[in-house]
Each structure stands twice: as C-alpha cells, then as structure tokens.
Structure 1
Amino acid sequence: MQELFTPAKETWLYRVNPALKFVLFFCLLLIVLFQRNLAFVFHLTFLYGILLYGYSGYRWKKLCLFSIPMVLSFISSALTMILFGKGVHVWWSWGLIKISEESFYYGLLLGCKTLCFGIISLTFLLTTRPIMLFYALMQQCKLAPKYAYSFIASIRLLPMIVEELRTRSNALKVRGVHFSKGIKGLFEHLRLYMVPLFAQSIRRAQRVAVAMEAKRFQMGVRRTYYYPTIYTKIDVVFLSAVVVSFLSAHFLKGIIPYKTLTHMLVPALQL
C-alpha cells in the first residue's frame, strides 16, 4: 500500500507549506461547490488537471488508476441528471428518459463539479505528507498540539493494525479454523477478528494517552518542534499558480461559454 502512494520523483508541490496548500484547496472546493457557471467549472477542472497530471510526480499508470473513481463519479452523476432531469427545451425523449437543454446543462455542471472535487482532493492527497500537514497546522494555524499529535499517533497506528490483522488471519489458518457461509460466517468473522483487534486498540490507545499526558500535551505552553515548517519562495510560486489558474478560468468562460461547449460536445442532440 505504501508503494502505491510513493511518487516516482518529488516535485516542487511537495515543498509547498502544507497549511497553505490546505487552506487554498479548501477555499477552491468551496468556490466550486457554490459555482453555477459550467464554463468556469469546466476550465477550472482542466487547468487544475494540468497541475495534478503534470506536477504530482507520479507515473501515468498510477495516475490513471487513481483517476478511475473520479471518471466513474463524473459519468454516473452527469448521466443521472442528464437522462432524468427536468427541463423545458426537450431535445430527445423516450419513456422515462428525457434529455433537455436544462438537464444537459446541470448534468455537465454536476459532473464537472464532481471531477473538479476529485482532482483538487487527489492533488492534495498525493503531494502532502500527513505528518507534515499536522506540524504545519500546529505552527502556522495554531492548532492545539494535543489534537494534532493525537491524529499523528492515529496515523502511526494504522500500519500496526494492518499487521495485527494479517497475523490474526495467519493464526486462524494455522489452527484450521473454517467459517460458515452466509450471514453466520459474517458474524464468525466479526467475532474472531474484530473483538481481539478492538481489545488491542483500546490497550494501545490507553498507553498513548498516558504517554501524551506524561509529556504534558494538555498544557497550553509554547512547544518546540522537531520538524519546523516555514513559508518559502515555493509557496509564492504555488500561490501564483493557483491564482493564475483561477483567473484564467474566469477569463476563458467569456471566450468559450456554455453554448460553445454544448455545440462541441453534443452537436447531434439538437438535430
């Protein structure tokens, strides 16, 4: 699993301050969420797609694999609205299916929003280390260390839980345990897997809580950090790239509006 999320090379996106990247991408998601101009969302999706596929540092095979859920979400959300949405100017209908200009517009808008959400989220996920994100949130956004280090400890414990699950599975195979089929077998899996894992997780969480209390994470005093995060020139480059892409999408929506996109995508629907 770790190899899947390991890039072929670390590009300049990895050196951007994670707190700045988080704030900017969160603002972009809010803008896309409340945006109702199809041309703007379409161009924004295309421009930030260049950022993902050109500068994430991952090979094309991995990027295509990561893109499958986004493409499926785009197709399902867009087709559902296009085929079954309401509209006045009907282009084609057959039974329950009715394609109109309005349903086509909102279908593409919903699909592009879904795709844009996926591209922005995937860019942040693939180019940000979780540990550095929480360090940046503590230092730049003043997040309380007791919350940040709790998340860091949780992330560190995930590989241990996976290893325990693998060990438990091998132990049951050595003992010759066989599970029933159907619902009964599902409950047997839950009983033999989940109960020991929950017990171990509770013990481990208790030890982590005691360790954090011993290191006085509950105090509000100023702390030092092993990984300092600061703003650099790369952050200026990243901020400029995001702003330029946003303004370019806003400019292009006047040059290539919705009507032009409609004639380019489905010229046969108006026949």
Structure 2
Amino acid sequence: METTWIRTNKLFFKINPSLKFVMISSLFLVYLFVHNLNTMIWASLFFLILYSSVTGLSGKWSFGFVLFTLVVSLFSASAMILFGKGSHVLYHQYLIMITQESLARGILLGLRTFTFSLVGMLFATTTLPVPFFYSLMQQLKVPVRFAYGCLAAFRMIPMMAEELTHIRQAMIVRGMTKQKGIKAYYARLNHYLLTMLAQSIRRAQRTAIAMEAKRFSMKESRTFYYQIGWSRNDLVFVLIIVCTVAMSFLCANSFPLTPFTNVLDH
C-alpha cells in the first residue's frame, strides 16, 4: 500500500468518510435513471477529470485502473451494440446487427458503467479503511461488533494473500506443479481450497474469541481511540460533487454532442 497510496494529504482524504459514502452512493441513483446520452458523455468526462485530480494512487496504478474500467465498459456496451434492436440498420452480418438505436443505447450503457466505476474508485482511492469504519460507528451508528468485524476481515486479506503464496511455494518445492493433467490440477485445487479454508476457520475463531474478550459484543456506548468529526472540507466536498453533477446536466442541454436526448424513445 505504501508504494501505491502516495498522496494521502489531498482534500478528499480529509472528508468525513460517512458523508463521502452517502454522497457517492447517491450518485449511483442519480445516473441510474439518466437516459440522455449527452449527459452521460459529459458526466464521464467530468468525473474522469475529478478522479485524476483527487486520487491518492500513483500515476501508474491510477492509469491502470482507468484502463481496466474502460475495457470493462466496452465489454458491457458491446452486447447492446452488436445484438440490439432498431429500425435504422448500420451494419448487418449473420447474427450481428448494429443499428443507430442499439449503438446509442450501447454507448449509454458503457458510459454509465464507466461513470459508476469512476465514482466507486473515487471513494475507494481516497478513503482510508480505519477512519471509514470508525466513522460508520460514530456518524451512521453502525453496531460496533459489525464494524470492527468488517475491519478485522479487511485486515485479513493481506494475510490470506501471503498464505496463498506460501502454499504455492510449498507445492513447487514438493514438485506438485510439474504434474500435468486434469487429475493433477484437481488435486492442486483441493490442496489450495482445503488449506485456505482450514486456516481461515482457525483465524476467524481466534478473532471472534479476541473480540469477545475485548467486549465488542456489548450494546452500551463505548469510547473510541479515533474521533471522526466534521470540518469545512466536508462542505467543499459537497459543493464539488453537486457542481460536477450540475455541470454534466447543464453541458448536456447547452452543448449536446449527439441528438439522442432519450435513448428509450428511439
């Protein structure tokens, strides 16, 4: 994480995580019901600029995530583009039929996927796990046992990845990776799954006992080591998000790039 999360002093890292979570979640609902292709074009452009400006990842990782998101968006749009219905046929060969209507709907679907991914990465790459779970407990009143349980599970992910590497190295030393065929592949898969499952059960049991000993199951109010509060940065964050959304709608009306104001009507 130290090599990828290199800019944690930016504005979006100083925002209350609960506020950020609620605002980002509301964006999914806003753009879920948008059928104007111009709005999604401008929204994807503005959120791409915003993500590039505020992300805490290094340039290499940030570009990699955007590229991966773009590829996924193209795949999500391809089914609608290649096999959609419409009256204005642009290309038809065997099972593939591209119409003007299916092209517009496919691009809208791809841009929606791209925008949703950017919005999700906007939250994921500017939010530290520990303050986020503390904010859930303090601002959104999530029960302590659930929040700390999720935080403990999050901390186990690197441990499980390291354990998987150790299992693979042990299998290489024993020569199990040199065996070919379906039977050998099935045996290796069983070794991975059974070992990881057994270790995960032991680790989860130890964690549960430790949390019970620390009285995480009690329902009374408790003190917190980290106090997550509010600041002027939260207001700035809300203004930035609202302005970004408003600009996408205003630019779609003032500077339309396509004639498809509602892809469902075509």
TM-score, normalised relative to structure 2: 0.90
In the alignment, does 2:233 pair up with 1:234? yes
1:114-164 Cα deviation digits (max 9, x unpaired): 110111111111111122211111111000010001011111122222222
Following the alignment from structure 1 to structure 2, what is the Cα–Cα distance between the partners of residues 227 and 158? 23
Following the alignment from structure 1 to structure 2, what is the Cα–Cα distance between the partners of residues 157 and 98? 48
* Pairwise CA distance, 1:179: 5.0
Letter in 2 for 1:20: L
SS in 2 for 1:259: coil
Aligned to 1:97: 96
8 Å CA contact 2:47–2:119 kept in 1: the answer is: yes
Matches within 5 A, 1:183-262: 183-257=182-256, 259=258
Following the alignment from structure 2 to structure 1, what is the Cα–Cα distance between the partners of residues 189 and 65? 30
SS in 2 for 1:190: helix
Q: 1:130 to 1:110 in 2, by over 3 A?
A: same
Following the alignment from structure 1 to structure 2, what is the Cα–Cα distance between the partners of residues 171 and 79? 42
8 Å CA contact 1:39–1:261 kept in 2: the answer is: yes
8 Å CA contact 1:87–1:100 kept in 2: the answer is: yes
Following the alignment from structure 2 to structure 1, what is the Cα–Cα distance between the partners of residues 181 and 191? 16
Following the alignment from structure 1 to structure 2, what is the Cα–Cα distance between the partners of residues 174 and 95? 52
8 Å CA contact 2:86–2:101 kept in 1: the answer is: yes
Matches within 5 A, 1:110-149: 110-149=109-148
Following the alignment from structure 1 to structure 2, what is the Cα–Cα distance between the partners of residues 172 and 90? 56
Q: 1:87 to 1:17 in 2, by over 3 A?
A: same
Q: 1:9 to 1:217 in 2, by over 3 A?
A: closer
Following the alignment from structure 2 to structure 1, what is the Cα–Cα distance between the partners of residues 175 and 91? 61
Letter in 2 for 1:163: E
Aligned to 1:109: 108
8 Å CA contact 1:4–1:62 kept in 2: the answer is: no
Following the alignment from structure 1 to structure 2, what is the Cα–Cα distance between the partners of residues 194 and 255? 56
In the alignment, does 2:155 pair up with 1:156? yes
Following the alignment from structure 2 to structure 1, what is the Cα–Cα distance between the partners of residues 195 and 163? 9
* Pairwise CA distance, 1:257: 2.5
Following the alignment from structure 1 to structure 2, what is the Cα–Cα distance between the partners of residues 44 and 163? 39
Percentage identity across paired residues of the two chains: 38
SS in 1 for 2:92: strand
Q: Comparing both chains, which one has the higher relative contact order based on Cα–Cα distances under 8 Å and sequence gaps of 6 or more?
A: 2
* Farther-moved stretch of structure 1 (214-223 vs 136-145): 214-223
Aligned to 1:20: 19
Aligned to 2:181: 182
Letter in 1 for 2:233: I
* Pairwise CA distance, 1:69: 1.8
Letter in 2 for 1:25: I
1:207-243 Cα deviation digits (max 9, x unpaired): 1111111222222110111111111111111100000
Q: 1:59 to 1:200 in 2, by over 3 A?
A: closer
Following the alignment from structure 1 to structure 2, what is the Cα–Cα distance between the partners of residues 66 and 126? 10
Following the alignment from structure 1 to structure 2, what is the Cα–Cα distance between the partners of residues 91 and 121? 34
Aligned to 2:65: 66
Letter in 1 for 2:53: G
8 Å CA contact 2:39–2:248 kept in 1: the answer is: yes
| Structure 2 alignment gaps of length 5 or more | 262-266
8 Å CA contact 2:35–2:108 kept in 1: the answer is: yes
